Amino acid sequence: MSESSGNGGKWLDAHYDPVAGLFTFSPCVDLADLSGDGESRLVVGDLGSGSTGMKLKVFRGTALLSESTLLDLPAGLVAFFMDLHEPRIPAVAVASGPCVYVYKNLRPYFKFTLPGLEVNSLEQDVWQQAREGQIDPLTLKEMLESIRKKADVPLSMRSLRFLSLETDDMDDFVQLHKQQPIRRQTVITCIGTLKKSTADDDGVSCLVIGTESSDVYVLDPEAFVILSKMSLPAAPTMMDVTGQFDVEFRITVACRDGNIYVLRRELDKPKYCIKLSSHPVGLVRVGKNVMVGCTDESLQGFTQKGKKLWRTVLAAPITTMAAMDLPTRGFQAVLVGLANCEVQLYRDKNLLSTIKTPDVVTSICFGRYGREDGTLIMTTKGGGLMVKILKRTAVFDDRDGAPGPPLAQSVRLNVPKKTKLYVDQTLRERENGLAMHRAFQMDLSRMRLTAAKAYVKALESSLAPVSSSISEPLKMNAVVQGLGPSFKLTLNVQNTAACRPATNLAISFLYDEGLYRMRNPYMRIPLLVPGLVYPVETSVECTSDKGISDIIKVFVLHEGRSCPLLTAHINMPVSEGEMLN
Amino acid sequence: MGLLDKLSGWLGLKKKEVNVLCLGLDNSGKTTIINQLKPANAQAQDIVPTIGFNIEKFKNSSLSFTVFDMSGQSRYRNLWEHYYKESHAIIFVIDSGDKLRMVVAKEELDTLLSHEDIRGRKMPVLFYANKMDLRDAVSSVKVSQMLCLENIRDKPWHICASNAIRGEGLQEGLDWLQEQIAQ
């Protein structure tokens, strides 16, 4: 079922055609009720192979309903209402090259061409001379080259094309083109829609066009005249439009200089600018915030005034982004297609769910398709078409997956009120701070002195279990095993010298003879090789049945010396065997 | 009163009352089917999308049906479960022409059959693979495959192809339902 396909149990796999032959990207996909019967169709501007096979395709359900050939590569596609006629059927606008082709009822209806740009006068003069035969193509080329280097106004397409030609082809080119006037044309980079005067879903919309010449045009939907022209510092690549043209609107544009600009009504220059650390690849507005996907594999959130809210790092580069808006449930999020064959759903910076796809997704469109409101349509790199439907029962819980301080940290502790005692103590500490500190320091010094004295005493009388004498550095630890009345006493003796073996050593025990009996209270230790641990074992028997225990002292002695090398005190355990008897 | 009721029941004078729940996605043709099953003089001319639900009553040779014609729109589908308890049979209508939303129909059916008021009961389920007149409609066998109907083992079920606008195939399903309820 759908759980196994990595949808997190939230999506139903309605349709997947891996060989649909649909090569497109998100700006060229839209959903619209093109027949007015309440069933939305999928309109796709298919890029084909990039040079041939550009088509406008319309899907209904799982089937291709119609396709018509496009003359040029589509840069964007939008469905919009251009008039108030009943039934309310939207038109489709396809932006390609310098033109916007408007289709009504899937038939070509109108073609809008962007106004031409200013032509370099020097260039015009040079071509004029060429037409009159005053200069040959080689001179023409030289002059155009010099114009290209110096002039503020760039050359026209024709001159640029001419400059790229081989010497043999120049003559023919000049003959062919010299009679036509020079025109400089820009191309459309992105297209959007803006409601004219009402916010209704089926209100008449204006087209908003971004061009390569760094301009943004707003077109009247009925007469197709330019209502407003705004200019940007760089060529726009993506845009998001909100508001109404007659009231107030906001056009958020991501530009090729890596910045995002916000245009407002009655301003022909950007109002705000968001400077990004890397280039934007996706721009989606969610509510009043703008979410931007960047080439550094990050997703960033900004307010509409350009204040940065958050930034989250993604697992892979972004391929495409789209908004997911479910007004019936009041749910808004953003879908991010990643290069590692995943589509992730983010609400603000929180990852809500992940959809695994069999191929890299190149375009995402979410909306009403057919009669289903929550439909997710994706096309893949290999030309596949995938349709998923959001389950009616799907719930996205907004857990904050981002690492940060845990929730418990922000819970206020119930700190009791300051008592009188506390206040008194604080006052005393404040007044007598110096004296208290001195008293503390004196006590600390005394304690250190006492500790040092005890240590020296232990060293002098070899009371410590470690001998640090240069001639016989030794270490010993003792283990008592058994429950009683007989215990096994194991003494692990180690020579810690670097290379000198220790000889002529013995072990002697000192104990209360009324309590314990020991098999051999005096033992000779063999030669101790440095580094090895020698276990010396003996057995102790407790003779008392009163349930008391005592300390057994162990001395390691050197033959011919009265002072022990080291001493260990063994706290014997209470003999349990005797007590049980 | 009790004695009189029983007596009339034995004599076949009083018809058995059956509550039937008519479910399915929006635009699958539930209201059209119920409309066709009503007597000819009571049929409505225009069918509009149902809001909430409608209650229709009609009589058969031996049974008296009370049909809860539920709205199939997704925002009203959570109303369905409130009527499971009182119903004796279910009619589930599928739009055979809507291949895309077959998964949604399957999802709703699975939710329905796993509901605690339905799960343990041996109530008959009648499927109408509706809109057979459409050009791109899939066959009733294909519909039963797509909905995995073979997995329903604890309930009697039956699927029949129908065209509710012309009333084709409806009576066959209703006869089966009547047979099942009579058992």
DSSP annotation string for B70-136: E--STTTGGGGGGGTTT-SEEEEEEETT-STTHHHHHHHHHHHHTSHHHHT----EEEEEE-TTSTT
Which residue, among A62, A331, A371, A387, would best test binding to B if mutated, counting the most B CBs under 10 Å from its CB?
A371
Do residues A312 and A280 lie in contact, with contact meaning Cβ atoms separated by under 8 Å? no
Residues of A in contact with B136 (CB under 8 A): 61, 63
Residue B23 lies in a domain: yes
A393 CA to chain B: closest CA distance, Å?
Answer: 9
Sign of CA dihedral A429, A433, A439, A445: positive
Residue B3 lies in a domain: no
Residues of B in contact with A328 (CB under 8 A): 75
The neighbouring-strand residues paired with A321 are: A336
Neighbours of A502 (CB within 10 A): 24
What pLDDT was estimated at residue A5?
45
What's the rounded Cα separation, in Å, for the pair A540 and A399?
66
Which residue, among B101, B102, B108, B148, would best test binding to A if mutated, counting the most A CBs under 10 Å from its CB?
B101
Residues of B in contact with A392 (CB under 8 A): 74, 77-78, 104, 107-108
CB contact under 8 A, B101 and A63: no
What's the rounded Cα separation, in Å, for the pair A13 and A19?
16
For chain B, the first-to-last Cα distance in angstroms comes to: 26
Q: How long a stretch of residues is chain A? A: 581
Q: How long a stretch of residues is chain B? A: 183
What pLDDT was estimated at residue A77?
93
Among candidate residues A476, A475, A481, the one with its CA nearest the CA of residue A540: A481
What pLDDT was estimated at residue B16?
82
Q: Is B147 annotated as a binding residue?
A: no
Does the N-terminal peptide bond of residue A87 adopt cis geometry, omega within 30 degrees of 0? yes
Q: Which tens digits make up the pLDDT trace of A146-204? A: 888 877 777 888 888 888 888 888 888 888 887 888 888 889 999 999 999 888 888 89
**Does A435 contact chain B (CB < 8 Å)?**
no
Residue B2 lies in a domain: no
Q: What percent of chain A has pLDDT over 90?
A: 37
CA-nearest residue to A61 within chain B is B100
Q: What percent of chain A has pLDDT over 70?
A: 95
Q: Is B73 a catalytic residue?
A: yes
What pLDDT was estimated at residue A7?
59
What stretch of H or E contains A337?
strand A331-338
What's the rounded Cα separation, in Å, for the pair A505 and A518?
20
Do residues B22 and B127 lie in contact, with contact meaning Cβ atoms separated by under 8 Å? no
Confidence of residue B4 (pLDDT cuts 50, 70, 90): low
What stretch of H or E contains A99?
strand A99-104
Rg from Cα positions in chain A: 44
Q: How far is CA B67 from CA A81, A518, B23, B82, B83, in A?
A: 42, 100, 10, 14, 11
Residue B91 lies in a domain: yes
What pLDDT was estimated at residue B162?
92
A8 CA to chain B: closest CA distance, Å?
Answer: 15
Among candidate residues A18, A79, A80, A28, the one with its CA nearest the CA of residue A50: A28
Provide the 8-state DSSP code for A321.
E
Residue B145 lies in a domain: yes
Whether residue B51 has pLDDT greater than 80: yes
Among candidate residues A549, A520, A522, A524, the one with its CA nearest the CA of residue A534: A524
Q: Which tens digits make up the pLDDT trace of A358-398? A: 999 999 999 999 888 889 999 999 999 999 999 988 888 76
Q: What percent of chain B has pLDDT over 90?
A: 50
B contact residues 8-47, partner A, Cβ 8 Å cutoff? 25-27
Residue B8 lies in a domain: no
Residues of B in contact with A389 (CB under 8 A): 100-101, 103-104
For chains A and B, what is the number of CB pairs under 8 angstroms?
46
What's the rounded Cα separation, in Å, for the pair A477 and A454?
21
Q: Which domains does chain A show, CATH number per domain?
A: 2-116+186-390 (2.130.10.10), 121-177 (no CATH), 466-580 (2.60.40.1510)
**Does B104 contact chain A (CB < 8 Å)?**
yes
How many angstroms separate the most distant Cα atoms in chain B?
56
Residues of B in contact with A386 (CB under 8 A): none
What's the rounded Cα separation, in Å, for the pair A70 and A60?
20
Residue B123 lies in a domain: yes
What's the rounded Cα separation, in Å, for the pair A43 and A60?
9
CATH number at residue B154: 3.40.50.300
Number of domains in chain B: 1
Tell me the residue range of the domain where B136 lies.
Answer: 15-182
For chain A, the first-to-last Cα distance in angstroms comes to: 71
Q: How far is CA A61 from CA A2, A16, B36, B101, B142, in A?
A: 20, 12, 28, 8, 17
Residue B77 lies in a domain: yes
**Does A271 contact chain B (CB < 8 Å)?**
no
